[in-house]
Structure formats: structure tokens, C-alpha cells
Amino acid sequence: MFLSNKYTKCYYKIVDRALSRNRQSDVYYEKHHILPKSLGGSNDRSNLVYLSAKEHFICHLLLVKMTEGSARRSMWYAAYRMCHKDNEYIPGSRIYEILRQKMILANKERIGPNKGKTMSQEQKDKISKSGKGIPRGPMSQSHKDNLKQKRSQETKDKISKARTGVSTGPRTKKQKAIAGAIWRGKKMPTQTCEYCLKQFSLLNYKRWHGFNCKINPN
């Protein structure tokens, strides 16, 4: 499965060292499949090892050098995805550029399941039948009339109630700083739910209130 080279030797050195050490309760570890699942590995204990975050990332970079063909494409993809896993891995710009370029090339080389296949007449008939009755031309007059129909007072009240307390004007510097911290995944000091609602638009409020607010999380 793996190529016989210096990268494979380095990979197994890291794995063997992790298997032989005693894990400490106050140290963060991540579970790693010695033979990746995408290459046929299982969830058996014999195929699992606990690595530090740094070791885990290095091992996935090594796996790229240890494989070839379709297996290497899978390992490029796995290494790239680790850069987007809850912002735990922040590689240098050069490594990120390489991973990004290689993943794009791997996607181009991947053969689609329907490439080279000819669609049967039965499949064509099913697609044609499923598409019949779906309007594809200009909107009908009844559709236009429905769009012009005014909202009922009940609908207006619901919209008004949903937006009560939501800031609609330009953001203050404080609001921009807090909103920016949310998207970067940083924790801000706990505020009351009313404060959360007043500081953010409805979308950002749900994100903040659902994940960061410790008073009454949804």
C-alpha cells in the first residue's frame, strides 16, 4: 500500500513513538487511522493511534509522499481538509498554497462515475417525463398577480416582531469588532441575551447566541 521511502520510515517512527508512550490526561490528542479509511483502513484498535495535533498534521503530509495514483489524490484531499477543521490547523502560506493546488489537480484527475457512459433511452424518457409540466418560459399572469399582492397585516406583524430589537443602521466600531471576532472563532466576554440581540443582525445573532452565549444558549 505505502511506498518504500524515507517518508514512510518517518511516518512509522511517529506512529511507533505514539503507541509506546503513556498518554497524559492534561494533553490534547487526536485519533488517527494508521492505514487511512479512504485506503481501506478499519476502525479496529490495532489501526488507531493517538497523536498530538502537530503529529497528526505532519502524518497527513507524510501520507501524501508515501502513496501514488488515486491513493495520493485521496491523501492530498485529506491533508487539505485538515486546514479547515474548526481552525485547529493553521499552516504556513506556502504549505497552504501547495495543498490547495494539489487538491485542485486531484479533483481534475478524478474520473466521474458517468464518464464515458451513454445514457439509455429509458433514462432519457424518465428525465423528460420528470421535467414535463414545469414552467420554463415567462411568468404567467396569475404568477405576476400573486407577486404584486400586498402583504396581510398579520404577515407584517410577524416580520416586525421578528426584527424587533435588531440593529438596522450602520455598525459601530464595537459591533464590527465583535462580529469580526465571531467569524474568526474567538470567544468574547459573555453578554446578556438582550445585548446579543441588539448588537447583531438576525443571522449573526443566531450564530452568536447559539454557540457562544452562556446565559441561555439555544
CB neighbours (10 Å) of residue 38?
Answer: 14
Which pLDDT belongs to residue 123? Answer: 84
Q: Where are the domains of the chain?
A: 6-109, 166-218
pLDDT in tens, 51-65: 988 899 899 999 999
Segment 99-125 shows an average pLDDT of 77
pLDDT in tens, 132-172: 776 666 777 887 787 778 888 888 888 887 777 665 667 77
pTM: 0.48
First to last CA, the chain: 47
Assess whether pLDDT exceeds 60 at residue 199.
no
Based on its alpha-carbon atoms, the radius of gyration of the chain, rounded to whole angstroms, reads: 27
Cβ burial of 150 (10 Å; 0-12, 13-18, 19+) is exposed
C-alpha cell at 101: 493546488
Output 75 or 182, whichever has higher pLDDT.
75
Which pLDDT belongs to residue 218? Answer: 46
Q: Please compute, for residue 10, the number of CA atoms within 13 A of its CA located in the half-sphere on the CB side.
A: 14
